[in-house]
């Protein structure tokens, strides 16, 4: 993975406040320009933006309550029911809209928790090294020996089927990748000049982690997390589809698809929640790819070389 | 320095081979796999111990659990009153003896269930891998050779969809199109249910129908394989495309590719003999990694296509809280996964002389 | 007739929608039995010129001028016909043998695949020829060496194998791009000696591209010094080393450690850095780094003119025009 190869910068300078402010403004401009030059990134950003609006205004956007049984079951898409109704006569559009609050919010919670846990463990492992590092990394290896969905399913099944437990299972299977990545970054930066110099200047190891390492680690880790949101949405939907995640009548997208499996003639029940998942996962993958291109020093260098 | 002495000096440094590099590498890798396998059992054990459900009730059912004698007997037999490390030891030796517990839903030993369902899953996974590797390598190669042109864009879209599409949903969409709408392909199962069963085969229906000399049945098996393997293979296809593309691009930057052209070899020859040869290692490695994802994906795909394999078994176990079976599948799949990766690593050693000979 | 005759060669590459000139108006000749040294810093266009002769420039490169090899025009030649020349009549040795030899193929495979293609040899004949070649580049124990992979060889041995590969089809022109740069200093001398020995033994034209003047001083018959896409000085090697005329050549030579008149080791590093393509100075491209710069140097790009017989220099101040 490219992130693991991130080379530490060898020099850093401490600009004066005014200089720093000017750099900040020009850096912001630079980022905006970059985004405009990456249309796919902009597309991803817009899709996520639209979904954020849907999450906030779900109550206003959805014409019906997600669990209201409206009498007409399995009616195809019409002006009244944009996405049709399901076997219990619930409005699929309203359920998809409300489902965003479950799928997106829980996925972000999952990724954030996994990232925090993984980052802390990775930092401890990388910074202190030695036996502790060895044990933690072998533990990480062990988690990589399981196919993700299988382990998540086993954990979720062991904990009992609920959306909270599915998130917990997701966290348990997702933290190791962060631990491994962050450890790699810490080990790379640990011996970099600027960290060593601040240690020589008398800063303790705790301070040097916060001051020097966190900013350098944040970029690659956030890139990973952004891409991971897409994977987390798929994972949660899969667990719900398998019956070990969200339970009926919760309007969770994966659970809705599984309700549609048995109705081949009523295609709309499964198709629309699936499309919702695809758009969100696609958007986060586009965002992640774009961010990676911005952060990846290898990538940057190759662009510079090309323009030479 | 004269040419004579330089040649002698050069000769003295040549051809110093380590004693048994292949053997020591294989042993080291085997040991690592064994440790990993132990670790896996530790995790499945922990998960089983973690369960909020009383294992006695789960195993014996409510009625038997009401009888204190039966409960005490069961607890003693499975060492449930012992400290956890002893319980793990009982669990581990049980596993090694083939005692993987009883399945609640089938009332059969879990290991027996697993072995009877495994061929269906493996047939699906192998068919998928073959397709994903063939098309993935071709598309990835095209993407790298025609960078930023149509093949590259196409490969990008596939790779992006592969990581953004829930495969169980993709499976349903494919069924809606190719079964419900067009009627070209069956919606599920492994073979036309009206066809007679082949007795005492390997469980791999392609092999069984061929050895039974039944072309019509073979055709039916193939038709049933098409949709599940395409759907299951989508994300793996994307992965292999990405890795092939990246690897080929990296290889193309090497002087030995330019050297191949400088020898006057045709582009096709250079790609086949020089580029693919150098990329084969990364493709093989990622295929091993993808194997785990495919095995896991069968849980979703077999559910959609009612494919009577491990995945469907796992799904039914999960929905009926049949913990022994779930842990059995988890163990079985994870151990197969690390074994496949062991084999991949050993193959890699054969493929790359730098690993083999140093 | 020269073996290789380059007339007014220009190469440009499209980069980010702009067309960058890489080489401009280069003319060169190489005869059989002659070693032409091409000197210059990285980015001076020397490697690109060599690749143009091999027909291995990027597909979108814009090439004008003429490259004649044994009377045949190479620019615009069809790929199929070019392929029968490449590796067969014109061969190449690359800078780093660790990178130019395929790590997963045996020495035999790499020594014989073009032999079998160009000369239609059987596997057995090709192996016999391969052993002969390994002996030619003075490697011991050829039969054993054929079964070996590149990483099992030392750097010097690898470069000898690379030279053997280049010589396999008995080419009449050998292009060597920095053949010693990636090697240990102790091994370099052996490789140079080998190349020198081979050019005497077999009647072959050699073009050595390098930034290392030390290598050229011991091997080259004639020298062409590249700067920013063009030749600034060309003459017999001895003449250039004895009377470096262009300020750039002079500075290059001064930057090589040498003993001065008092017998002390002397070294004078050159000012500045070589310009990237597209960032060449107006007028004489060397003017930002030149010690002799005059007003006209900022206006007119000097052309290559004969300063003394057989010694051409492109300089307003020290060349023929002064």
Residue in chain B nearest A229 by alpha carbon: B164
Q: What percent of chain C has pLDDT over 70?
A: 97
Q: CB of B74 within 8 A of CB of B60?
A: yes
Q: B8, B146, B253, B262: which to substitute to probe chain C, counting the most C Cβ within 10 Å?
A: B262
**Which residues, 6 or more positions from B148, have their beta carbon under 8 angstroms from its beta carbon?**
none
The predicted-structure confidence for C78-97, as pLDDT tens digits, reads as follows: 888 888 889 889 999 988 88
Nearest chain C CA: its distance from B340 CA (Å): 23
pLDDT at B17: 46
Q: Do B326 and A157 touch (CB under 8 A)?
A: yes
**In Å, how far from its chain's centre is CA B187?**
24
Cβ contacts below 8 Å, chain A against chain B, sum to 149
Q: Which residues of C touch A (CB under 8 A)?
A: 15-16, 276-277
A305 in contact with C, Cβ within 8 Å: no
Contact residues on chain A for C277, CB-CB shorter than 8 A: 308
Pairwise pLDDT comparison (C133 vs C42), residue with the higher score: C133
pLDDT tens for chain A, 308 residues long, are 333 344 444 444 444 566 666 666 676 777 677 666 778 888 888 999 999 998 898 888 878 788 777 778 777 888 887 888 877 778 888 888 898 999 899 999 999 999 999 999 998 898 888 899 999 998 998 888 888 888 888 888 888 888 999 999 999 999 999 999 999 888 877 666 666 666 666 666 666 666 667 777 888 898 889 989 999 999 999 999 988 888 888 889 998 898 888 777 888 888 999 999 999 999 999 998 888 877 765 544 443 333 32
Cβ contacts below 8 Å, chain B against chain C, sum to 124
Q: Which long-range contacts (CB under 8 A, 24 or more apart) does A194-201 make?
A: A194/A9, A194/A11, A194/A12
The SS3 assignment for C78 reads coil
Nearest chain A CA: its distance from C277 CA (Å): 7
At residue B31, does pLDDT exceed 70? yes
B125 in contact with A, Cβ within 8 Å: no
A282 in contact with B, Cβ within 8 Å: yes
State how far the Cα of A196 lies from the Cα of B93, in Å rounded to an integer.
Answer: 50
Contact residues on chain C for B1, CB-CB shorter than 8 A: 189-190, 193
Q: Do B7 and C138 touch (CB under 8 A)?
A: yes
Residue B81 — pLDDT band, cuts 50, 70, 90? Answer: confident
pLDDT at A205: 60
- Sign of the Cα torsion A53, A59, A65, A66 reads positive
Q: C152, C161, C167: which to substitute to probe chain B, counting the most B Cβ within 10 Å?
A: C152
Q: Do B10 and C157 touch (CB under 8 A)?
A: yes
Q: Do C276 and A308 touch (CB under 8 A)?
A: yes
Residue in chain C nearest A303 by alpha carbon: C16
Contact residues on chain C for A308, CB-CB shorter than 8 A: 15, 276-277
Mean pLDDT, residues B306-333:
88
pLDDT at A117: 96
**In Å, how far from its chain's centre is CA A77?**
32
B58 in contact with A, Cβ within 8 Å: no
B195's tokens: 């066809």
B328 in contact with C, Cβ within 8 Å: no
Residue labelled with tokens 């880790």 = A221
Which chains share 3+ C-beta pairs under 8 angstroms with A? B, C
Q: Which H or E element spans position B139?
A: helix B110-145
Q: What is the pTM of this model?
A: 0.81
Q: Do A308 and C16 touch (CB under 8 A)?
A: no
Q: What separation in angstroms does the CA of A222 have from each of A42, A286, B244?
A: 18, 14, 26
A306 in contact with C, Cβ within 8 Å: yes
Residue labelled with tokens 């204190």 = B68
Q: Do C139 and B11 touch (CB under 8 A)?
A: yes
At residue C210, does pLDDT exceed 90? no
Contact residues on chain B for C145, CB-CB shorter than 8 A: 14-15
The Cα angle at residue B271 between residues B265 and B275, in degrees rounded to 5: 115
Nearest chain A CA: its distance from C43 CA (Å): 10
pLDDT at C317: 84
Contact residues on chain A for C16, CB-CB shorter than 8 A: 306-307
B273 in contact with C, Cβ within 8 Å: yes
At residue C14, does pLDDT exceed 70? yes
Mean pLDDT, residues B306-330:
88
At residue C150, does pLDDT exceed 70? yes
Q: Do A306 and C16 touch (CB under 8 A)?
A: yes
Q: Residue C299's CB: how many other CB atoms inside 10 A?
A: 12
Residue C118 — pLDDT band, cuts 50, 70, 90? Answer: confident
**Which residues, 6 or more positions from C109, have their beta carbon under 8 angstroms from its beta carbon?**
none
Cβ contacts below 8 Å, chain A against chain C, sum to 7
Closest Cβ opposite residue B3 in set C96, C103, C190: C190
**Which residues, 6 or more positions from C250, have their beta carbon under 8 angstroms from its beta carbon?**
C244
Query: How large is the ipTM?
Result: 0.84
Q: Do B47 and A261 touch (CB under 8 A)?
A: no
At residue C198, does pLDDT exceed 70? yes
The Cα angle at residue B101 between residues B95 and B107, in degrees rounded to 5: 150
Contact residues on chain A for B297, CB-CB shorter than 8 A: 149
pLDDT at B70: 75
pLDDT at A246: 86
State how far the Cα of C160 lies from the Cα of C157, in Å rounded to an integer.
Answer: 5
Mean pLDDT, residues B263-273:
86
Q: Residue B21's CB: how many other CB atoms inside 10 A?
A: 14
Nearest chain C CA: its distance from B18 CA (Å): 11
3-state helix/strand/coil string of C252-278: HHHCCCEECCCCCEECCCCCCCCCCCC
Q: Do B47 and A158 touch (CB under 8 A)?
A: yes
Q: What is the residue-averaged pLDDT of chain B?
A: 84
Closest Cβ opposite residue A147 in set B176, B179, B334: B334
The SS3 assignment for B18 reads coil
Alpha helices for chain C (secondary structure H): 46-54, 79-85, 97-100, 107-118, 123-136, 142-145, 155-167, 185-201, 213-219, 237-242, 247-254
Contact residues on chain C for B273, CB-CB shorter than 8 A: 105, 113
**Which residues, 6 or more positions from A217, have their beta carbon under 8 angstroms from its beta carbon?**
A119, A123, A182, A185, A186, A189
Residue B57 — pLDDT band, cuts 50, 70, 90? Answer: low
pLDDT at C191: 87
C120's tokens: 């239609």
pLDDT at B129: 94
A268's tokens: 């709309």
Pairwise pLDDT comparison (B8 vs C130), residue with the higher score: C130
The predicted-structure confidence for B189-217, as pLDDT tens digits, reads as follows: 888 888 887 777 788 888 888 888 888 88
B124's tokens: 């699906």
């Amino acid at each position: 993975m490219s992130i693991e190869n991130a080379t530490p910068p060898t020099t850093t300078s401490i600009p004066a406040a005014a200089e720093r402010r000017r750099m900040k403004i020009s850096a912001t401009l630079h980022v905006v320009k970059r985004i405009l030059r990456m249309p796919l990134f902009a597309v991803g950003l817009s899709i996520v933006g639209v979904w954020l609006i849907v999450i906030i205004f779900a109550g206003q956007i959805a014409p019906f309550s997600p669990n209201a049984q409206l009498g007409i079951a399995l009616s195809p898409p019409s002006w009244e029911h944009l996405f049709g109704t399901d076997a219990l006569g619930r409005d699929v559009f309203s359920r998809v809209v409300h489902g965003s609050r479950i799928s997106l919010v829980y996925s972000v919670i999952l990724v954030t928790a996994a990232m925090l846990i993984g980052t802390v463990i990775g930092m401890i492992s990388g910074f202190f090294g030695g036996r502790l590092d060895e044990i933690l990394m072998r533990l990480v290896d062990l988690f990589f020996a399981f196919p993700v969905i299988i382990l998540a399913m086993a954990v979720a099944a062991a904990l009992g089927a609920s959306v909270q437990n599915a998130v917990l299972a997701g966290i348990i299977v997702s933290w190791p990748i962060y631990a491994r990545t962050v450890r790699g970054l810490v080990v790379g930066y640990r011996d970099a000049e600027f960290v060593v110099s601040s240690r020589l200047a008398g800063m303790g190891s705790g301070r040097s982690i916060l001051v020097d390492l966190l900013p350098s680690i944040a970029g690659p880790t956030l890139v990973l997390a952004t891409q991971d949101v897409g994977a987390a949405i798929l994972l949660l939907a899969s667990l719900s589809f398998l019956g070990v995640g969200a339970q009926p009548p919760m309007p969770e997208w994966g659970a809705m698809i599984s309700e549609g499996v048995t109705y081949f003639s009523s295609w709309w029940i499964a198709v629309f929640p699936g499309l919702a998942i695809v758009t969100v996962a696609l958007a986060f993958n586009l965002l992640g790819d774009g961010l990676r291109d911005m952060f990846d020093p290898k990538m940057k260098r190759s662009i510079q070389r090309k323009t030479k | 320095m004269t040419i004579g002495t330089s040649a002698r000096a050069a000769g003295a440094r040549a051809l110093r081979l380590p004693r048994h590099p292949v053997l020591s590498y294989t042993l080291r890798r085997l040991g690592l796999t064994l440790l990993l396998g132990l670790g896996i059992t530790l995790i499945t054990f922990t998960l089983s111990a973690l369960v909020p459900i009383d294992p006695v009730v789960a195993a014996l059912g409510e009625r038997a659990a009401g009888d204190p004698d039966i409960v005490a007997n069961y607890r003693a037999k499975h060492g449930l009153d012992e400290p956890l490390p002893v319980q793990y030891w009982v669990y581990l030796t049980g596993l090694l003896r083939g005692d993987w517990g009883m399945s609640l839903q089938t009332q059969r030993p879990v290991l027996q269930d697993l072995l009877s369902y495994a061929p269906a899953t493996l047939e699906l996974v192998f068919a998928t891998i073959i397709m994903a590797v063939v098309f993935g390598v071709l598309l990835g190669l095209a993407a790298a050779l025609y960078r930023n042109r149509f093949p590259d864009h196409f490969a990008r879209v596939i790779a992006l969809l592969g990581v953004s599409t829930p495969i169980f949903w993709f499976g349903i969409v494919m069924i809606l199109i190719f079964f419900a709408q067009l009627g070209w392909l069956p919606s599920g199962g492994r073979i036309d249910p009206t066809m007679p069963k082949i007795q005492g085969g390997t469980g791999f229906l392609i092999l069984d129908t061929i050895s039974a000399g039944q072309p019509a049945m073979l055709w039916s098996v193939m038709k049933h394989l098409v949709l599940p393997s395409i759907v299951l293979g989508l994300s793996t296809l994307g992965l292999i495309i990405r890795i092939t593309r990246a690897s080929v691009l990296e290889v193309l930057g090497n002087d030995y590719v330019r050297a191949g052209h400088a020898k006057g070899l045709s582009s096709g020859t250079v790609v086949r003999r020089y580029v693919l040869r150098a990329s084969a290692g990364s493709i093989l490695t990622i295929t091993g990694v993808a194997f785990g994802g495919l095995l896991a994906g069968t849980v979703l795909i077999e559910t959609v296509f009612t494919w009577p394999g491990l995945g469907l078994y796992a799904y039914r176990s999960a929905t009926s809280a049949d913990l022994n079976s779930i842990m059995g599948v988890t163990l079985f799949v994870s151990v197969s996964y690390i074994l496949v990766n062991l084999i991949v690593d050993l193959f890699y050693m054969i493929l790359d002389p730098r690993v083999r000979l140093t | 007739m020269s073996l290789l005759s380059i007339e007014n060669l220009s190469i440009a590459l499209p980069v980010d929608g702009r067309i960058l000139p890489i080489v401009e108006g280069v003319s060169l000749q190489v005869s059989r039995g002659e070693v032409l040294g091409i000197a210059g810093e990285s980015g001076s266009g020397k490697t690109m010129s060599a690749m143009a002769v091999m027909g291995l420039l990027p597909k979108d490169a814009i090439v004008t001028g003429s490259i004649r090899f044994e009377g045949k025009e190479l620019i615009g030649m069809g790929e199929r016909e070019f392929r029968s020349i490449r590796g067969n009549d014109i061969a190449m040795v690359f800078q780093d043998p660790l990178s130019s030899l395929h790590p997963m193929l045996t020495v035999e495979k790499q020594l014989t695949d073009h032999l079998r293609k160009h000369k239609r040899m059987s596997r057995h004949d090709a192996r016999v020829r391969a052993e002969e070649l390994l002996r030619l580049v003075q490697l011991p124990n050829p039969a054993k060496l054929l079964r070996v992979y590149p990483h099992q060889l030392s750097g010097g041995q690898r470069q000898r194998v690379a030279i053997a590969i280049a010589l396999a089809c008995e080419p009449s022109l050998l292009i060597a791009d920095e053949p010693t740069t990636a090697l240990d200093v102790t091994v370099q001398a052996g490789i140079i000696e080998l190349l020198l020995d081979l050019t005497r033994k077999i009647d072959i034209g050699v073009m050595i591209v390098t930034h290392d003047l030390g290598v050229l001083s011991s091997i080259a018959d004639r020298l062409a010094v590249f700067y920013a896409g063009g030749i600034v000085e060309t003459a017999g090697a001895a003449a250039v080393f004895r009377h470096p005329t262009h300020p750039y050549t002079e500075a290059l030579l001064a930057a090589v450690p040498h003993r001065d008149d008092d017998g002390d080791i002397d070294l004078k590093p050159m000012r500045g850095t070589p310009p990237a393509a597209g960032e060449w100075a107006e007028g004489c491209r060397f003017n930002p780094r030149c010690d002799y710069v005059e007003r006209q140097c900022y206006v007119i790009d000097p052309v290559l003119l004969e300063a003394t017989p057989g010694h051409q220099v492109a300089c307003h101040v020290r060349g023929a025009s002064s």
